[in-house]
């Protein structure tokens, strides 16, 4: 094989890619026909592909590049750490400076008494940790039969067997099954499932499904409830305001641990450091990843309350860990990312640019004939495509057909938006400026116009 580089012709890169690179969440046969888009570099909110297109990244990669692309400081920190100590583990009473510093920093940033960090390499791994952690918690407390976790249909918690089982995505369950001891309840998706109820009534109804499920299973069998403050991969489902307070009340009533999966909502995405703050939740455990390093290095973790850490810690060894738990290079990169987020007031910037500037322009998209609803919290937003807004109707075509077309128009217009069924979503880097928001809205509108014209 010849050496390839950024100057290799796109067709050659695509051919090699299709021949040897088995992609996540991709149809291999489709890839061989069409070829993957090859991204070469990034700067701020912008990507350049191998065809020379300058693309506005409305998704921050996979919801993760919170500080934007191209921050040299992170590369410099990584290089320094690689020279100093490229690897050492944190098993068996050993530690190192980057892991200590990052854990202490996270304890400072996280709300309440979330003061202890168990590191993982990703969000999926962190959720696998959480399964073992909550079961161990109840075992040490003398209630080993409390081992069921309750989650939501259409939630997403990763794609390892544990994370994929917590998630409520049937296409993932269909590939390889799921682990036992996980139960699902309905999602707080008013537009799609709320019928004639008001949003507030529906939020309460869906939260109370948790209580029904607990009573059905027996509270003495339930270990924890897990949910994303805002479902991301499920289509940016922003819950009615009645939902989370009721979930919190029910968890407290039955003594069930609450896990907030903040893999997307953490580190500024909703306009606060954590989505739990935006929605007034006090979790016992938070899952983190993505924005923790802005995607510059693979790292995730669980931030654990004093009480949970004390109980699990009192049981002797916790028989769990990853070779890369607290990896020194990833930890150093994450720490530098947090420094930048903090020193440059990027979380405040996200809140200020989201409301009112983006929020007003986003809301106007609901006037488009193809759009039913346009919702936003901080810098994550969704629009629903519909043939009839008043009836909140679905298209006659298979779910996702129109969404896919709209996404393809976005790609053709050098804007990355994602579609989840017939919902279109954004989650841009938090450093996006008002001028870039104008570009995003203009390109999104043009893409919707083209998609709409194609339907007639």
Q: Is 349 in the site for ligand PLP (CB under 6 A)?
A: no
Q: Shortest Cβ distance from residue 222 to ligand PLP (Å)?
A: 21
Q: Which of 128, 209, 211, 228 binds ligand PLP (CB under 6 A)?
A: 228
Residue 123 to residues 127, 180, 206, 295, 298: CA-CA distances in angstroms?
6, 20, 26, 12, 9
Q: Shortest Cβ distance from residue 63 to ligand PLP (Å)?
A: 6
Q: Which of 59, 74, 250, 264 binds ligand PLP (CB under 6 A)?
A: 264
Q: Shortest Cβ distance from residue 167 to ligand PLP (Å)?
A: 8
Question: What mask of x and - would describe binding to ligand PLP in positions 200 to 219, judged by CB under 6 A?
Answer: --------------------
Q: Is 59 in the site for ligand PLP (CB under 6 A)?
A: no
Q: Is 263 in the site for ligand PLP (CB under 6 A)?
A: yes
Q: Shortest Cβ distance from residue 91 to ligand PLP (Å)?
A: 21
Cβ(300)–Cβ(324) under 8 Å? no
Instruction: With contacts defined by CB under 6 A, name the span among 69-77, 118-126, 349-357, 414-422 that binds ligand PLP.
Output: 118-126
Q: Shortest Cβ distance from residue 196 to ligand PLP (Å)?
A: 30
CA atoms within 13 A on the CB side of 11: 0
Which token pair is 366? 């609901």
Residue 50 has a CB neighbour count (10 Å cut-off) of: 19
Residues near 346 by beta carbon (within 8 Å), at least 6 away in sequence? 66, 67, 268, 340, 430, 431
* Residue 13 or 64 with smaller CB distance to ligand PLP: 64
Which token pair is 106? 């996270």
Q: How many residues bind ligand PLP (CB under 6 A)?
A: 18
Cβ(124)–Cβ(159) under 8 Å? yes
CA atoms within 13 A on the CB side of 324: 14
Residue 293 to residues 231, 261, 263: CA-CA distances in angstroms?
21, 16, 11
* Residue 62 or 363 with smaller CB distance to ligand PLP: 62
Q: Which of 99, 233, 383, 444 binds ligand PLP (CB under 6 A)?
A: 233
Which token pair is 33? 């026909």
Instruction: With contacts defined by CB under 6 A, name the span among 30-38, 153-161, 168-176, 304-312 that binds ligand PLP.
Output: 153-161
Q: Please tell me the distance from the alpha carbon of residue 258 to that of residue 212, in angstroms, as a whole number.
A: 17
Instruction: With contacts defined by CB under 6 A, name the span among 103-111, 122-130, 328-336, 431-439 that binds ligand PLP.
Output: 122-130
Q: Is 157 in the site for ligand PLP (CB under 6 A)?
A: yes
Taking 3-state DSSP, the helix, strand and coil percentages for the chain, each rounded to the nearest 5, stand at: 45, 15, 40
What is the bridge-based pairing of β-strands 423-426 and 148-152? unpaired
Q: Is 158 in the site for ligand PLP (CB under 6 A)?
A: yes
Q: Please tell me the distance from the alpha carbon of residue 136 to that of residue 144, in angstroms, as a whole number.
A: 8
Cis? peptide before 274, omega within 30° of 0: no
Instruction: With contacts defined by CB under 6 A, name the span among 157-165, 237-245, 384-392, 436-444 that binds ligand PLP.
Output: 157-165
* Residue 289 or 354 with smaller CB distance to ligand PLP: 289
Instruction: With contacts defined by CB under 6 A, name the span among 15-23, 171-179, 258-266, 330-338 that binds ligand PLP.
Output: 258-266
Give me the residue label for tokens 């996270």: 106
Binding site for ligand PLP (CB under 6 A): 62, 122-124, 127, 156-158, 163, 228, 232-233, 261, 263-264, 287, 289, 300
């Amino acid at each position: 094989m010849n050496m390839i580089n950024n100057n290799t012709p796109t067709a050659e890169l695509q051919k090699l890619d299709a021949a040897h690179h088995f992609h996540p969440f991709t149809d291999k046969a489709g890839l061989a026909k069409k070829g993957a888009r090859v991204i070469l570099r990034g700067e701020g909110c912008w990507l350049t592909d191998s065809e020379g297109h300058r693309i506005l990244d409305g998704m921050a990669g996979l919801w993760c590049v919170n500080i934007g692309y191209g921050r040299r400081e992170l590369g410099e920190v990584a290089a320094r750490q690689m020279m100093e100590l490229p690897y050492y583990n944190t098993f068996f009473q050993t530690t190192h400076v980057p892991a200590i510093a990052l854990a202490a920093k996270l304890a400072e940033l996280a709300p309440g008494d979330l003061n202890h960090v168990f590191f993982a390499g990703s969000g999926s791994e962190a959720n696998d940790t959480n399964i073992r952690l909550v079961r161990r918690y109840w075992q040490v407390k003398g209630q080993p039969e409390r081992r069921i976790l309750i989650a939501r249909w259409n939630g997403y918690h990763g794609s390892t067997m544990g994370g994929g089982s917590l998630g409520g995505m049937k296409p993932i369950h269909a590939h390889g099954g799921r682990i036992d001891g996980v139960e699902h309840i309905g999602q707080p998706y008013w537009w799609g499932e709320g019928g004639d109820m008001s949003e507030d009534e529906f939020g309460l109804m869906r939260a109370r499904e948790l209580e029904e499920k607990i009573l059905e299973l027996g509270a003495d069998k339930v270990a924890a409830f897990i949910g994303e403050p805002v479902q991301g991969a499920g289509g940016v489902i922003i819950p009615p305001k009645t939902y989370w307070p009721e979930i919190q009340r029910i968890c407290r009533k039955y003594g069930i641990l609450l896990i907030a999966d903040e893999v997307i909502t953490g580190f500024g995405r909703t306009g606060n450091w954590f989505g739990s703050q935006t929605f007034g939740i006090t979790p016992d455990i938070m899952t983190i990843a993505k924005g923790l390093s802005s995607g510059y290095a693979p790292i995730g973790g669980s931030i654990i309350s004093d009480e949970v850490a004390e109980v699990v810690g009192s049981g002797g060894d916790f028989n769990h860990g990853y070779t890369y738990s607290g990896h020194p290079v990833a930890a150093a990169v994450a720490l530098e990312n947090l420094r930048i987020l903090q020193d440059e007031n990027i979380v405040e910037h996200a809140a200020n640019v989201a409301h009112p500037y983006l929020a007003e322009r986003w809301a106007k998209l609901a006037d488009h004939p193809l759009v039913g609803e346009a919702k936003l919290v901080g810098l994550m937003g969704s629009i629903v495509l519909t043939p009839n807004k008043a009836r909140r109707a679905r298209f006659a075509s298979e779910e996702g057909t129109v969404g896919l077309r709209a996404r393809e128009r976005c790609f053709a217009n050098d804007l990355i938006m994602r579609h989840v069924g017939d919902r279109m979503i954004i989650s841009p880097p938090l450093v996006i400026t008002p001028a870039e928001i104008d570009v995003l809205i203009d390109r999104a509108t043009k893409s919707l116009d083209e998609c709409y014209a194609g339907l007639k």
